[in-house]
Structure 1
Amino acid sequence: METAFIYQHIDHTLLKAVSDWEQIQILCEEAIQYHMASVCIPPSYVKRVYEAYGDKLAICTVIGFPLGYNTTEVKKAETEQAVSEGACEVDMVVNLGDVKNGDFDRVTEEIAILKKAAGDKILKVIIETCYLTEEEKIRLCRCVSEGGADYIKTSTGFGTAGATMEDIRLFKKHLTGQVKMKAAGGVRTREDLEQFLKEGCSRIGTSSAIHILSKGQ
């Protein structure tokens, strides 16, 4: 698999709480240099990045991150602000309390509300697979599909585990419509990157793509 092709599917990510502006700038410049799909950054940096780089790169940010238990109203406001400040993609975290309570209608409703708030921008839904049973994952595939989201995403990268091939294969069986898949968390080798793409992921979220892909070159 060509290295350039892999880069085109990477959401170049920096979401650490202590990320400073210099680090964010490096991230953005790398994403531009390697023609990555987007940079995924904290909401507080969206406006500054847009002002500095404009349309040179796609800006992705996170909503209700990383625990997902913000109220829907707060997530909606976060989404609206992110879009108004220049984000063209938003990755929201579902309310795992709703999931554990079996309130999947509420999960679907929240996804639909945030998709409406995002408008024509891309909405990715992080379900944090490491905390879920297989049945919950299947039900969430339905929520994401029915809620009108553009992507389902495995993980925040802040949970107890990240993306697995088994989860991606499960998603493929149970997603409907045009929902795409994003793997994130624990992607550490070129083999990981290639396998997730071969399994059908359209995006991979990682902070390590350049380190991984520069090995042996």
Structure 2
Amino acid sequence: MASALASLIDHTLLKPEATADEVGRLCTEAVTHEFKAVCVNPYWVPRAAELLANSSVALCAVASFPFGCSRTEAKSAEAALAVREGADEVDMVINLGALKSGELDVVEADIRAVRDATAGRVLKVIIEAAALEADELVSVVELCAAAEVDFVKTSTGYHAAGGARVADVVAIKKALDGREIGIKASGGIRDYAFALALIEAGATRLGASSGVSLVKAEAAAQ
């Protein structure tokens, strides 16, 4: 039976130099520890789908990662292909530049197009919260809610502004205002106490490449 923490973790490998052997190890670890999901780049979806077959571990692919600057048509096509190849979940990155330019219609079109492309699957929208002003965060969370996405995700972990922060989880939860949309915290979650703080703040999923060490720390603390 999965530990309480393992059931919230997307075991993640998104570095561009990841190898087939590393993806294989990621999937084996996810099955062994009963993580909620593995999260990989689109190229590795078919391999991961094969490795995770007959397990309870979900397969998550990213779309327009890590910058979110793809055209809407490309972003939605990437998400649709990931679903066809076996992805159960898609983590898409918003068009941050469009949001910063006040082009909310572009951001909304992106989210809705990927929502359509992933119908019946879990969609998480990465907003790079650490790079946003308070009003920008509220605006994009409202767009996510209107598009009926499943999760708002804090960050890619690749932006200079930083990864997961407790304050961002709190702000997203406040902006959601009780709506039944999950919050995924991601980026730099390597410490068990930090993981717990994010969960206490409202995170309902954690994206981490250090999932194994986190669940070992959880076991040691009990």
Give the TM bin, normalised by the shorter chain.
Answer: over 0.9
Task: Return the alpha-carbon distance in structure 1 between the equivalents of residues 73 and 109 of structure 2.
Answer: 12
Residues 39-188 of structure 1: pairs in structure 2 closer than 5 A: 39-56=38-55, 57-160=57-160, 161-176=162-177, 177-188=179-190
Q: What 5-or-longer segments of structure 1 have no aligned partner? A: none
String of CA shifts for 1:47-77, please: whole Å, max 9, x gaps: 1121233241210010000000000000111
Task: Return the alpha-carbon distance in structure 2 between the equivalents of residues 38 and 7 of structure 1.
Answer: 9
RMSD: 1.4
Task: Return the alpha-carbon distance in structure 2 between the equivalents of residues 30 and 188 of structure 1.
Answer: 16
Tell me whether 46-55 or 181-190 shows the greater mean CA deviation. 46-55
Which secondary structure state, in structure 1, belongs to the residue aligned with residue 185 of structure 2? strand
Q: Which amino acid aligns with 2:171?
A: L
Task: Return the alpha-carbon distance in structure 1 between the equivalents of residues 54 and 115 of structure 2.
Answer: 22
Task: Return the alpha-carbon distance in structure 1 between the equivalents of residues 6 and 172 of structure 2.
Answer: 23
Which secondary structure state, in structure 2, belongs to the residue aligned with residue 4 of structure 1? coil
The normalised TM-score by structure 1 is 0.95
Shift of 1:78: 0.3
String of CA shifts for 1:181-213, please: whole Å, max 9, x gaps: 000012121111111112221100000121233
Q: Which amino acid aligns with 1:164?
A: R
Which secondary structure state, in structure 1, belongs to the residue aligned with residue 156 of structure 2? coil
1:33 aligns with 2:32: yes
- Residue pair 1:79, 1:114 contacting (<8 A) in 2 also: yes
**Structure 1 match to 2:9:** 10
- Residue pair 1:183, 1:203 contacting (<8 A) in 2 also: yes
String of CA shifts for 1:93-149, please: whole Å, max 9, x gaps: 000111011111221222111111101100000011222111111111111111221
Task: Return the alpha-carbon distance in structure 2 between the equivalents of residues 186 and 16 of structure 1.
Answer: 13
Which secondary structure state, in structure 1, belongs to the residue aligned with residue 183 of structure 2? strand
Runs of 4+ in 1 over 6 A off after TM superposition: none
Shift of 1:175: 1.2
The normalised TM-score by structure 2 is 0.93
Q: Which amino acid aligns with 1:175?
A: L
**Structure 1 match to 2:208:** 206
Task: Return the alpha-carbon distance in structure 2 between the equivalents of residues 182 and 53 of structure 1.
Answer: 22
Q: What 5-or-longer segments of structure 2 have no aligned partner? A: none
The aligned length equals: 215
Q: Which amino acid aligns with 1:162?
A: G
Q: Which amino acid aligns with 2:170?
A: R
